[in-house]
C-alpha cells in the first residue's frame, strides 16, 4: 500500500493524516496508463458509500474505525440523516501494486431512482464501473438500470457481491447453501448483461447487413442468419465470474472482501498446488480428493463439498461463529493463529464483537485491497478508450461520424492518444455543475499556520506585550494599585483576539456570491490549465458551421465573429476533487477527472469545452428518469420574489435533472423526478440558493386528456342497446346546439365539427378519433425519433440537405412500418401516409391527419424515399399548411377538460376552404350562402386579394398565391390558427372524453409478516398488483404493482411506517392510463338512475381529478350541489 511521503510546508499539514501527499497525486495524474476513472453503481442501499468508505480509509483519509459510520462521500446533511446518497461525488485515491503506483478517480453515485440522473453524469466521465449487488436482495430494478447505463456508455463493469455477512447472520445459511445462493446471484447479473449484449450484437449485425445491401454485395433475397453474429462476437470478457477476476465477494461493513486469486495464492503456498490450477477450480463444481491429493470435477454429483465451500466459505463462517455468534475466546485465538493475524488487545477486549471482527478481517482479507487490485487489473485506463466509444461521443443526433468535417474526424486520434502534449488539443466534457460554499474554496479557506509561522507570531506577540508592559509601567509610576494589572490582562486578551482575527482571511464582500459553481468534468485530451482561454460548445454547436465562419487556426484568445452556440471564456481555477474538499491545482493533464471554476456564466448543466472549434459537442447524457413531480413555489413574503427567482435559477443549474419553469399564469414551477428529489430541491432552495422561507404547493399531478370509443355498456354494466346509445349521443348533440352551436359552428351527428372563422373567410371541418392504445404507446416511446424526423423534414423544406445516419433512417422506416401494422382496417386506410403532423410540440402522441381531398402535401416520410429527396413536391405545400399545423399544436397542448395536454387523439381535417374575395376561383365544393355573405360583408373592409387555397385545384397558379398573400395573409393565417384550434376542441368534445392518469410502477420487497399491510396500503391508493413472487432462497416477497401518481404522495412513507421499515418501495414513472370513469357522466338509463341517483353525486374519481386541476388553474368549476338528497333516498327505497 502507499507509504507516507514526508513533505514540507502547508500541504503536509493538510495531508498529515493521509498516506499520500498532494504532490504525489499530481505526479500520478501525469501517467494516464496508471489512471483508473471509475464509479460505484448499484441499487439503493446495496452499500456503495460504505464500500467507498473502505477505499477512502485505505488512503488514511478517514480512520478504519469510521468505515461505514462516517459515509465520508455523503457530505450533505440530508444524505447523512436519510442515509441515502443524493449527489454523486468524487475522490482521488492512491494505490500501489506490483511496484506500480495507480491513481484512482473514484465517483460514488446514488442508487435511489429519483437521482438516477446523477448516475448518468458520473458514468459519462468514467472508463469503468464497480457494480455492487446486495447478496440477499440480488438484482433489483436499479441494478438493471445501472448495468444498462454502463453498457450504453461503453464502460467496463466489474462486480462486487456485497453484504455476504447477511447470509451468515440474517439468513443463517450454511456455507454450502450460501455457495448456491451466490452462484444464483451471479447468474442473475450475467443474465442482464447477456440480454444487453445480444441486443447490441443484433443491432450491429442489422446495420452491417444494411450497409452491405446498400453497396450491393448481398443479394436482396438472402435471409440473414441472426445467430451468426452471436457466434462470432467474443463475449468471454463480458460475464462476471470469480475465475475471470472480475467478481469479488465482500462485506463492506465488516471490512472484508476477496477475489479467488487471493485464496488461490494462499492455498497454492500452503498445499503446494499450482496457483493457476486453483484459480480455475476454486469456483465451480470441483472438490478436493484428500487421499489422492487431487482436485476432481463433479462435486455436486458425488455429494462432495465444492472447493469454494471447503477452502473459502467454511473459514469465513467459522470466523463469524467464533467471534460474533459464540464469542468464544479460545476459539478466536485458534482462528487467529491459523490465519496468522495479530490484533491489538484493545480490539479483542472491546464489548462489541464487530470491532474485533473488523480488526481481524481488515488484516486477513482487506476489502480495499481486493477491490482496488481488481479495478487496476480489470478496468481500462484512459489510454484504452475504445474507438467505438469515441465515435459515439462525437456524433450527435442524426449526424453520422463520417459526415463530420475532416478536422473534426481527426480529433478522434486525440481522444485515443489521450496526450498531454503542449500542442495536443484540449477536449473536456463537463457533465454537471455543482454548487459549493464559496467560503470553503481552498483560496478562501482559513489555512492552519505552519510551525515557523506560529513561532513567528508568538515572538511578535511577546515583543508587543513587552513594549506595552514598559509603557504601562512608566505610566503607572506612583499609582501602585492592582487596577493596572487588571487593565493589562484585559489588553492582553484583546491583543490575542486581534491576532486571531488577523488569521481569518478577508471574507468575500459579496454576500451574493455565497455559492460558487464548479464544473464536474474530465479531460479527454490535452492539458487544462488555470487561466487558459477555451471555447465552450453548446449541445447544438455544429463544427462544420463553426469552422466555416471562423478564420483558420483560430484560437479562443483571438477575437472572432459570433458563431451560434459557441462562446469562449477563461478558466479561473482547476481543482482536484477530494470528496468534501477541493485542492487547488495549476493544471490537470489528460485522462483525469477534475473540478473547474469560472464557467457558471457559460454553462447551464453540461457542455463540451475545447481549444479547437473543430471539436463537436458530445452526445447528450442518457437520462433514465424523466422529471414528473411538479410543485408551484412562492416566497412566504411576496417582496422576496427576486430572491426566489435567483434561487430557482441556481437550483436549476446545480441539479442535472430538476427543471424550473415559469408558467403562463406566472407561477414558478419546479419539476423533479420524485418525492425524495423534490424534498431535496426544496431544502436546497430554502437553505442555500434562495435563503428565504418558501411555500410549495401540493404536488401538481399531471394528467392527459383523451377521447375513447363510445362505451358499449352503461355504468351499471348493462348493455347499452341501440336505443340508449342514441339517447347518449342525442344528449351530447343537444348540449352542442344549446351551448355552443352558433352561426359559425356546426356539429353533425357523426361528430364532424365544421367551423367558420369570424370573418367568414375560412371554414374547416375536423373530426376527433381515438387512437388504438398500442399506437399511443408507440408514439409516446418514439418521441425522440419523431423529433428527429421533424428536424429532417424541416431542413428538407428549407432546402438544406443533412446526412442522416443509416441507423436513424432505419429506425424511421421501422417506426412507419409499425404504425402501418397497427393502423389497419377501412377506417385507417392510407392513414400513415397521410399523417400531417404530430403534436403537441411537434413530437407528441397525437396525430393530425390530412383527409383533404386532392391536397397533396410533401409526405412526412419523404426522407425515406431517396429518389425525390430534393422535393419536386414542394410547390404543393399550401400557405395555410402551417396555420393548420399550428392550430393543431395549440389544441393538443391543452385540452378542453382541464387544459392538460392531449394524448392518443387523431384529428382528421376533412375540409378546409379558404375564401378569396376577388378571386375567380370561388369555392366550388361548398358554395354555401354563408361564404357569399361573408364575402359581401368583408368587401368594404378588405380591398386586397384574399388568400385562396382550393384543395380541389392542386395545379393552381402559384403566382396568385404569392400576390394575394400580402394584404390578408396575416389576418387569415391568424384566424385560421384560432379556427383550427377551436374546431379541434369542439371535435374533441363531440366524443366521449376521458382523463388519463400518470402511473408509477413500483417494486416493493417485503417479508411475509408485513405482506398483508403492504396490500392494504396499495389497495387504499388504487394500486394494482401485477405480480408477486418470492425471492429464491430468501423469505422476501417481491411485489410489482402500478399506482396512480396522483395517489402516490406519502406512499413510500406510509408503507415504511405501516411495516416498521421492513418494506420500501421504489417508484418509477411507467405509463399513462385512461381512467375508465367519464367525468361528464350523468345517469341516462333507468338502472343508472336507480343506482346512482339523479344527480350522480357518488364519487366520480375522474370528475374529482378534473375539478381539482381546474380549480388549481383558476378555471370555472361546475360544482354540483346536492339539492335533493332526500329524493334519492326515496328512489332507492322504492326499488
Ligand atoms: N450487513 C451489511 N450491511 C451493509 C453492508 N454494507 C453496507 N451496509 C448497510 O447498508 C446500508 C446502506 O449502505 P450505503 O453504503 O449507504 O448504501 P448505498 O448503496 O450507498 O445507498 P445509496 O447511496 O442511498 O444508494 C447501511 O445501513 C449500511 O450500514 C454490508 O456489507 N453488510
Ligand atoms: Mg450511497
Element (H, E) at 204: helix 175-214
Per-residue CA distances from 715 to 345, 610, 1078 (Å): 78, 64, 9
Burial class (CB in 10 A: 0-12, 13-18, 19+), 338: exposed
Name the nearest CA neighbour of 853 among 925, 922, 905: 925
User: Which of the ligands is closest to the CA of residue 361?
Assistant: 1
pLDDT of residue 720: 54
Res. 596: pLDDT tops 60:
yes
Which residue's C-alpha comes closest to atom 28 of ligand 1?
47
Q: Is 45 in the pocket of ligand 1 (CB under 6 A)?
A: yes
Residue with cell 359552428: 745
Over range 702-729, report the average pLDDT: 64
Q: Is 110 in the pocket of ligand 1 (CB under 6 A)?
A: yes
User: Which of the ligands is closest to the CA of residue 50?
Assistant: 1
CB 436, CB 455: distance < 8 Å: no
d(CA 1004, CA 905): 34
- The preferred substitution site among 39, 44, 50 for testing ligand 1, maximizing ligand atoms within 8 Å of CB, is 50
Residue with cell 397533396: 856
Per-residue CA distances from 963 to 548, 918, 945, 968 (Å): 37, 12, 8, 10
- The preferred substitution site among 39, 41, 47 for testing ligand 1, maximizing ligand atoms within 8 Å of CB, is 47
Main-chain dihedrals φ then ψ at residue 1066, nearest 5 degrees: -120, 120
d(CA 669, CA 141): 30
Residue with cell 375560412: 762
Output the CA 1061–ligand 1 centroid distance in Å: 15
Q: Is 163 in the pocket of ligand 1 (CB under 6 A)?
A: yes
Over range 92-115, report the average pLDDT: 92
Q: What is the torsion angle, in degrees rounded to the nearest 10, for the CA atoms of residue 448, residue 453, residue 458 and residue 461?
A: -100
Res. 590: pLDDT tops 80:
yes
User: Which of the ligands is closest to the CA of residue 47?
Assistant: 1
Output the CA 506–ligand 1 centroid distance in Å: 41
Which residue's C-alpha comes closest to atom 32 of ligand 1?
163
d(CA 1091, CA 1109): 28
Mean model confidence pLDDT for the chain: 79
Which residue's C-alpha comes closest to atom 21 of ligand 1?
45
Output the CA 45–ligand 1 centroid distance in Å: 5
Res. 281: pLDDT tops 80:
yes
- Given pLDDT bands bounded at 50, 70 and 90, which one contains residue 346? confident
| Bridge pairing between strands 753-756 and 515-525 | unpaired
Residue 469 grid coordinates: 508592559
> Among the listed ranges 595-599, 756-760, 1101-1105, which one has the minimum average pLDDT value?
756-760
Name the nearest CA neighbour of 983 among 689, 679, 763, 667: 763
Which residue's C-alpha comes closest to atom 7 of ligand 1?
47
pLDDT of residue 9: 37
pLDDT of residue 217: 44
Atom of ligand 1 nearest to the CA of 44: 25
Sign of the CA dihedral 413, 419, 424, 427? Answer: positive
Which residue has better confidence, 478 or 1007? Answer: 1007
Output the CA 352–ligand 1 centroid distance in Å: 19
- Given pLDDT bands bounded at 50, 70 and 90, which one contains residue 810? confident
Bridge partners (DSSP) of residue 763 are 756, 913
Q: What is the pLDDT of residues 456-513, one digit of tens each?
A: 777 777 787 777 777 666 655 545 444 444 443 333 333 344 444 344 344 434 445 6
Q: Is 43 in the pocket of ligand 1 (CB under 6 A)?
A: no
CB 159, CB 246: distance < 8 Å: yes
CB 41, CB 478: distance < 8 Å: no
Q: Is 251 in the pocket of ligand 1 (CB under 6 A)?
A: yes
Over range 690-716, report the average pLDDT: 82
Output the CA 50–ligand 1 centroid distance in Å: 6
pLDDT of residue 870: 47
Q: What is the torsion angle, in degrees rounded to the nearest 10, for the CA atoms of residue 213, residue 219, residue 220 and residue 224?
A: -80
Q: Is 112 in the pocket of ligand 1 (CB under 6 A)?
A: yes
Q: Is 143 in the pocket of ligand 1 (CB under 6 A)?
A: no
Q: Is 252 in the pocket of ligand 1 (CB under 6 A)?
A: yes
Q: What is the pLDDT of residues 123-172, one digit of tens each?
A: 999 999 999 999 998 888 889 889 988 988 889 999 999 999 999 998 89
Residue with cell 474554496: 441
Q: Is 992 in the pocket of ligand 1 (CB under 6 A)?
A: no
Helix 806-822 vs helix 783-797: crossing angle, to nearest 10 = 110
Q: Is 85 in the pocket of ligand 1 (CB under 6 A)?
A: yes
Bridge partners (DSSP) of residue 427 are 525, 610
Q: Is 42 in the pocket of ligand 1 (CB under 6 A)?
A: yes
Output the CA 931–ligand 1 centroid distance in Å: 75
Atom of ligand 1 nearest to the CA of 83: 16
DSSP 947: P
User: What beta strand segments (E) does 1019-1119 contain?
Assistant: 1024-1030, 1036-1044, 1064-1074
Which residue's C-alpha comes closest to atom 23 of ligand 1?
85
Per-residue CA distances from 284 to 157, 298, 354, 801 (Å): 22, 9, 31, 58
CB 911, CB 763: distance < 8 Å: yes
Q: Is 165 in the pocket of ligand 1 (CB under 6 A)?
A: yes
Over range 1057-1077, report the average pLDDT: 80
Name the nearest CA neighbour of 632 among 679, 658, 666, 674: 666
**Torsional class of 85: left (φ above 0), alpha (ψ -120 to 50), beta (otherwise):** beta
Output the CA 108–ligand 2 centroid distance in Å: 7
User: Which of the ligands is closest to the CA of residue 46?
Assistant: 1
pLDDT of residue 312: 92
Q: Is 50 in the pocket of ligand 1 (CB under 6 A)?
A: yes
Q: Is 257 in the pocket of ligand 1 (CB under 6 A)?
A: no
Maximal CA-CA distance, the chain: 124
d(CA 655, CA 688): 13
pLDDT of residue 921: 37
pLDDT of residue 736: 46
Q: Is 477 helix (H, G, I), strand (E, B) or coil?
A: coil
Q: Is 48 in the pocket of ligand 1 (CB under 6 A)?
A: yes
d(CA 467, CA 485): 15
Atom of ligand 1 nearest to the CA of 111: 25
DSSP labels, 292-327:
TTEEEE-HHHHTPPPHIIIIIIHHHHHHHIIIIIS-
Name the nearest CA neighbour of 814 among 846, 849, 840, 789: 789
| Bridge pairing between strands 533-537 and 607-610 | antiparallel
- The preferred substitution site among 43, 45, 178 for testing ligand 1, maximizing ligand atoms within 8 Å of CB, is 45
Output the CA 68–ligand 1 centroid distance in Å: 8
User: Which of the ligands is closest to the CA of residue 110?
Assistant: 1
Atom of ligand 1 nearest to the CA of 50: 15
> Among the listed ranges 145-154, 267-276, 672-681, 728-737, which one has the minimum average pLDDT value?
728-737
Sign of the CA dihedral 1048, 1052, 1054, 1058? Answer: positive
- Given pLDDT bands bounded at 50, 70 and 90, which one contains residue 560? confident
d(CA 80, CA 65): 17
User: Which of the ligands is closest to the CA of residue 1061?
Assistant: 1
Which residue's C-alpha comes closest to atom 30 of ligand 1?
163
Which residue's C-alpha comes closest to atom 13 of ligand 1?
47
Per-residue CA distances from 1045 to 703, 780, 1001, 1014, 1114 (Å): 10, 18, 9, 17, 22
Which residue has better confidence, 1082 or 894? Answer: 894
> Among the listed ranges 626-635, 723-732, 900-909, 1017-1026, which one has the minimum average pLDDT value?
723-732
Residue 913 grid coordinates: 376552404
pLDDT of residue 1061: 67
pTM of the predicted protein model: 0.76
Output the CA 45–ligand 2 centroid distance in Å: 7
Q: What is the pLDDT of residues 438-464, one digit of tens each?
A: 888 888 776 666 667 777 777 777 787
Over range 180-204, report the average pLDDT: 85
Which residue's C-alpha comes closest to atom 12 of ligand 1?
45
Residues 6+ apart with CB under 8 A from 782: 815
Which residue has better confidence, 869 or 691? Answer: 691
pLDDT of residue 917: 45
CB 433, CB 621: distance < 8 Å: no
Name the nearest CA neighbour of 775 among 817, 730, 837, 805: 817
pLDDT of residue 729: 43
Main-chain dihedrals φ then ψ at residue 572, nearest 5 degrees: -75, -50
Res. 865: pLDDT tops 80:
no
d(CA 567, CA 808): 30
746-759 burial string, b = 16+ CB within 10 Å, else e? bbeeebbbbbbbeb
Output the CA 249–ligand 1 centroid distance in Å: 15
d(CA 962, CA 968): 11
Which residue's C-alpha comes closest to atom 9 of ligand 1?
47
- Given pLDDT bands bounded at 50, 70 and 90, which one contains residue 1096? low
Output the CA 71–ligand 1 centroid distance in Å: 9
d(CA 1119, CA 1129): 21
DSSP 757: -
CB 324, CB 303: distance < 8 Å: no
d(CA 770, CA 708): 5
> Among the listed ranges 31-35, 142-146, 345-349, which one has the minimum average pLDDT value?
345-349
Based on its alpha-carbon atoms, the radius of gyration of the chain, rounded to whole angstroms, reads 36
CB 846, CB 892: distance < 8 Å: yes
Name the nearest CA neighbour of 745 among 983, 926, 991, 936: 983
pLDDT of residue 449: 63
Per-residue CA distances from 998 to 218, 580, 705, 1018, 1105 (Å): 47, 38, 11, 16, 12
User: Which of the ligands is closest to the CA of residue 140?
Assistant: 1
Main-chain dihedrals φ then ψ at residue 766, nearest 5 degrees: -130, 145
Atom of ligand 1 nearest to the CA of 52: 15
Q: Is 162 in the pocket of ligand 1 (CB under 6 A)?
A: yes
Burial class (CB in 10 A: 0-12, 13-18, 19+), 374: buried
Atom of ligand 1 nearest to the CA of 85: 23
Output the CA 48–ligand 1 centroid distance in Å: 6
Q: Is 146 in the pocket of ligand 1 (CB under 6 A)?
A: no
DSSP labels, 527-555:
-EETT-EEEEE-TT--HHHHHHHSPTT--
Residue 382 grid coordinates: 484512459
Q: Is 1107 in the pocket of ligand 1 (CB under 6 A)?
A: no
Res. 673: pLDDT tops 60:
yes
Amino acid at each position: 500500500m502507499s507509504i507516507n511521503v514526508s513533505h514540507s510546508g502547508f500541504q503536509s499539514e493538510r495531508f498529515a493524516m493521509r498516506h499520500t501527499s498532494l504532490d504525489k497525486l499530481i505526479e500520478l495524474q501525469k501517467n494516464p496508463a496508471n489512471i483508473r476513472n471509475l464509479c460505484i453503481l448499484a441499487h439503493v442501499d446495496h452499500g456503495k458509500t460504505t464500500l467507498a468508505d473502505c477505499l477512502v480509509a485505505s488512503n488514511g483519509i478517514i480512520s478504519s474505525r469510521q468505515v461505514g459510520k462516517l459515509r465520508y462521500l455523503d457530505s450533505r446533511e440530508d444524505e447523512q440523516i436519510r442515509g441515502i446518497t443524493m449527489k454523486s461525488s468524487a475522490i482521488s485515491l492512491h494505490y500501489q501494486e506490483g511496484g506500480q503506483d495507480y491513481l484512482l478517480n473514484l465517483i460514488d453515485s446514488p442508487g435511489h431512482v429519483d437521482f438516477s440522473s446523477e448516475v448518468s453524469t458520473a458514468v459519462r466521465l468514467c472508463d469503468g464501473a464497480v457494480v455492487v449487488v446486495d447478496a440477499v436482495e440480488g438484482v433489483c430494478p436499479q441494478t438493471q438500470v445501472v448495468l444498462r447505463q454502463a453498457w450504453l456508455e461503453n464502460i467496463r463493469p466489474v462486480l462486487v457481491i456485497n453484504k455476504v455477512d447477511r447470509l451468515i447472520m440474517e439468513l443463517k445459511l450454511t456455507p454450502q447453501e450460501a455457495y448456491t445462493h451466490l452462484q444464483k446471484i451471479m447468474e442473475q447479473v450475467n443474465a442482464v448483461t447477456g440480454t444487453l449484449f445480444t441486443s447490441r450484437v443484433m443491432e450491429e449485425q442489422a446495420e452491417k447487413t444494411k450497409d452491405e445491401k446498400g453497396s450491393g454485395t448481398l443479394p436482396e433475397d438472402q435471409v440473414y442468419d441472426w445467430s451468426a453474429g452471436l457466434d462470432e462476437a467474443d463475449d468471454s470478457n463480458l460475464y462476471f465470474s470469480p475465475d475471470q477476476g472480475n467478481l469479488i465477494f465482500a462485506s463492506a461493513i465488516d471490512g472484508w472482501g476477496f477475489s479467488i486469486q487471493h485464496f488461490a495464492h494462499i492455498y497454492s503456498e500452503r498445499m503446494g498446488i499450482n496457483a493457476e490450477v486453483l484459480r480455475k477450480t476454486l469456483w465451480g463444481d470441483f472438490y478436493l480428493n484428500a487421499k489422492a491429493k487431487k482436485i476432481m470435477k463433479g462435486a455436486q454429483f458425488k455429494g462432495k463439498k465444492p472447493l469454494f465451500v471447503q477452502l473459502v466459505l467454511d473459514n469465513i463462517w467459522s470466523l463469524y461463529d467464533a467471534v460474533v455468534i459464540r464469542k468464544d475466546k479460545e476459539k478466536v485465538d485458534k482462528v487467529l493463529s491459523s490465519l496468522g493475524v495479530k490484533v491489538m488487545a484493545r480490539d479483542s477486549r472491546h464489548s462489541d464483537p464487530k470491532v474485533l471482527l473488523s480488526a481481524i478481517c481488515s488484516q486477513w482479507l482487506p476489502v480495499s485491497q481486493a477491490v482496488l487490485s481488481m479495478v487496476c487489473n480489470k478496468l481500462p485506463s484512459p489510454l484504452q478508450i475504445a474507438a467505438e466509444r469515441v465515435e459515439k461521443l462525437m456524433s450527435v443526433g442524426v449526424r453520422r461520424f463520417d459526415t463530420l468535417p475532416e478536422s473534426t474526424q481527426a480529433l478522434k486520434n486525440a481522444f485515443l492518444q489521450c496526450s498531454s502534449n503542449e500542442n495536443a488539443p484540449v477536449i473536456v466534457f463537463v457533465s454537471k455543475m455543482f454548487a459549493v460554499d464559496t467560503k470553503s474554496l481552498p483560496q478562501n479557506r482559513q489555512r492552519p499556520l505552519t510551525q515557523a509561522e506560529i513561532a513567528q507570531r508568538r515572538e511578535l506577540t511577546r515583543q508587543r506585550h513587552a513594549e506595552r508592559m514598559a509603557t504601562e509601567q512608566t505610566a503607572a509610576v506612583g499609582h501602585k494599585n492592582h487596577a493596572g494589572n487588571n487593565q493589562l490582562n484585559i489588553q492582553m486578551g484583546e491583543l490575542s483576539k486581534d491576532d486571531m482575527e488577523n488569521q481569518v482571511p478577508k471574507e468575500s464582500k459579496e454576500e451574493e456570491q455565497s455559492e460558487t459553481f464548479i464544473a464536474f468534468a474530465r479531460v479527454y485530451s490535452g492539458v487544462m490549465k488555470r487561466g487558459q482561454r477555451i471555447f465552450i460548445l453548446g449541445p447544438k454547436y455544429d463544427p462544420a458551421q463553426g469552422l466555416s465562419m471562423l478564420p483558420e487556426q483560430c484560437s479562443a484568445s483571438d477575437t472572432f465573429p459570433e458563431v451560434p452556440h459557441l462562446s469562449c471564456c477563461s478558466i479561473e481555477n482547476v481543482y482536484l476533487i477530494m470528496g468534501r474538499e477541493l485542492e487547488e491545482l495549476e493544471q490537470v493533464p489528460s485522462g483525469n477527472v477534475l473540478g473547474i471554476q469560472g464557467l457558471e456564466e457559460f454553462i447551464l448543466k453540461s457542455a463540451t469545452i475545447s481549444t479547437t472549434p473543430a471539436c463537436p459537442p458530445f452526445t447528450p447524457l442518457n437520462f433514465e428518469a424523466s422529471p414528473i413531480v411538479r410543485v408551484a413555489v412562492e416566497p412566504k413574503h411576496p417582496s422576496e420574489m427576486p430572491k426566489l427567482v435567483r434561487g430557482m435559477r441556481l437550483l436549476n443549474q446545480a441539479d442535472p435533472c430538476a427543471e424550473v419553469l415559469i408558467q403562463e399564469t406566472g407561477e414558478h414551477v419546479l419539476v423533479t423526478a420524485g418525492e425524495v428529489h423534490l424534498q431535496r430541491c426544496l431544502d436546497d432552495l430554502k437553505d442555500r440558493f434562495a435563503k428565504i422561507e418558501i411555500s410549495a404547493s401540493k404536488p401538481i399531478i399531471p394528467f392527459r386528456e383523451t377521447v375513447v370509443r363510445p362505451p358499449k355498456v352503461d355504468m351499471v354494466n348493462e348493455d347499452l342497446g341501440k336505443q340508449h346509445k342514441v339517447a347518449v349521443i342525442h344528449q351530447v348533440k343537444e348540449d352542442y346546439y344549446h351551448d355552443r352551436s352558433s352561426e359559425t359552428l356546426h356539429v353533425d351527428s357523426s361528430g364532424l365539427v365544421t367551423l367558420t372563422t369570424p370573418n367568414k373567410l375560412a371554414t374547416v371541418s375536423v373530426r376527433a378519433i381515438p387512437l388504438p392504445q398500442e399506437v399511443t404507446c408507440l408514439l409516446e416511446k418514439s418521441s425522440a425519433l419523431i423529433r428527429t424526423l421533424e428536424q429532417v423534414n424541416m431542413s428538407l423544406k428549407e432546402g438544406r440537405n443533412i446526412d442522416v445516419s443509416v441507423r436513424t433512417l432505419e429506425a424511421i422506416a421501422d417506426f412507419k412500418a409499425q404504425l402501418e401494422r397497427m393502423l389497419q382496417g377501412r377506417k385507417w386506410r392510407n392513414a400513415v401516409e397521410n399523417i400531417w403532423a404530430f403534436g403537441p410540440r411537434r413530437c407528441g402522441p397525437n396525430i393530425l391527419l390530412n383527409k383533404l381531398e386532392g391536397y397533396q402535401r410533401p409526405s412526412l416520410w419523404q426522407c425515406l424515399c431517396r429518389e425525390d429527396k430534393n422535393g419536386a413536391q414542394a410547390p404543393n405545400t399550401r400557405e395555410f399548411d402551417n396555420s393548420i399545423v399550428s392550430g393543431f399544436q395549440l389544441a393538443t397542448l391543452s385540452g378542453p377538460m382541464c387544459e392538460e395536454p392531449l394524448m392518443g387523439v387523431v384529428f382528421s381535417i376533412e375540409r378546409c376552404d379558404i375564401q378569396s374575395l376577388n378571386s375567380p376561383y370561388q369555392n366550388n365544393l361548398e358554395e354555401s350562402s354563408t361564404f357569399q355573405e361573408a364575402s359581401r360583408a368583408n368587401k368594404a373592409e378588405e380591398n386586397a386579394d384574399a388568400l385562396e387555397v382550393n384543395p380541389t385545384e392542386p395545379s393552381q397558379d402559384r403566382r396568385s398565391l404569392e400576390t394575394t398573400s400580402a394584404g390578408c395573409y396575416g389576418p387569415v393565417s391568424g384566424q385560421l390558427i384560432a379556427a383550427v384550434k377551436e374546431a379541434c376542441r369542439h371535435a374533441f368534445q363531440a366524443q366521449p372524453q376521458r382523463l388519463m392518469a400518470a402511473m408509477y410502477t413500483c417494486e416493493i420487497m417485503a417479508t411475509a409478516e408485513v405482506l398483508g399491510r403492504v396490500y392494504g396500503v396499495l389497495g387504499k391508493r388504487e394500486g394494482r398488483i401485477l405480480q408477486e413472487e418470492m425471492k429464491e432462497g430468501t423469505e422476501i416477497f417481491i411485489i410489482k404493482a402500478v399506482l396512480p401518481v396522483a395517489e402516490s404522495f406519502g406512499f413510500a412513507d406510509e408503507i415504511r411506517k405501516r411495516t416498521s421499515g421492513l418494506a420500501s418501495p421504489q417508484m418509477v414513472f411507467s405509463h399513462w392510463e385512461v381512467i375508465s370513469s367519464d367525468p361528464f357522466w350523468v345517469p341516462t338509463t333507468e338502472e343508472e338512475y336507480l343506482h346512482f341517483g339523479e344527480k350522480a353525486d357518488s364519487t366520480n374519481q375522474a370528475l374529482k381529478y378534473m375539478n381539482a386541476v381546474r380549480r388549481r388553474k383558476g378555471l370555472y368549476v361546475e360544482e354540483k350541489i346536492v339539492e335533493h338528497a332526500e329524493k334519492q333516498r326515496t328512489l332507492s327505497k322504492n326499488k
